[in-house]
A = this chain, B = another copy of it.
Amino acid sequence: MSLLIFIAFLGACMAAAATGAMFGPGRWYDELDKPSWTPPNWLFPVAWTVLYLAIAVAAWRVAMSGSEVLALGLALWALQIALNTLWTPVFFGLQQLFGGLVVLGALWLSVLLTTAAFLAADWLAGLLFIPYLAWVSFAGALNYDIWRRNGDAPSAGATEQRGA
């Protein structure tokens, strides 16, 4: 059962990761006005691969912990992975910079709460969430700065699709 639990958490992360493969950056993103501290495109899938592995392992450790905050921790984990899956289609699919910022704000809060619950349940699980919290904070700052610079101006393709 322990293995099945890990596979379920990893599968949820893979569903979230699939959005990155399917709604990746392209001409629209490349042509946006971005701050000088924007990471190169190749860094995102590398960072997310490491982060998804860490958060799947963290969830698995909490699931095995028998802690009193196990149920709360896993409920918050489910919330953050759903928001994580949502962000990429909103930002890259709909090209909604402000919509992406709203989702990222909710994601950041859910990751913070999950980290707190995980630290209470299993300290290593909580530590495994710290890089994720740091990355989502950074991504939020980046999303904010890109929105501030560009407003919400989707490309013709996205507009046509959204209005379809």
Contacts and interface: CB of A to CB of B under 8 A. Distances in A.
A71 B3 CA distance: 12
B94 A75 contact: no
Copies assembled: 2
B70 A71 contact: yes
A28 B91 CA distance: 21
Nearest to A86: B15
Given A63-B74, A63-B75, A163 B26 contact: yes
Given A78-B59, A78-B81, A89 B23 contact: yes
Majority secondary structure of chain A interface residues (helix, strand, loop or mixed): helix
Contacts of A12: 75, 78-79, 81-83
B9 A78 contact: yes
A42 B52 CA distance: 36
Interface in A57-104: 59-60, 63-64, 69-72, 74-79, 81-86, 89-90, 93-94, 96, 99, 103
A158 interface: yes
Contacts of A90: 22
A19 interface: yes
Closest 9 CB pairs of A and B: A157-B160, A89-B89, A26-B164, A157-B161, A63-B71, A8-B75, A78-B78, A15-B82, A12-B82
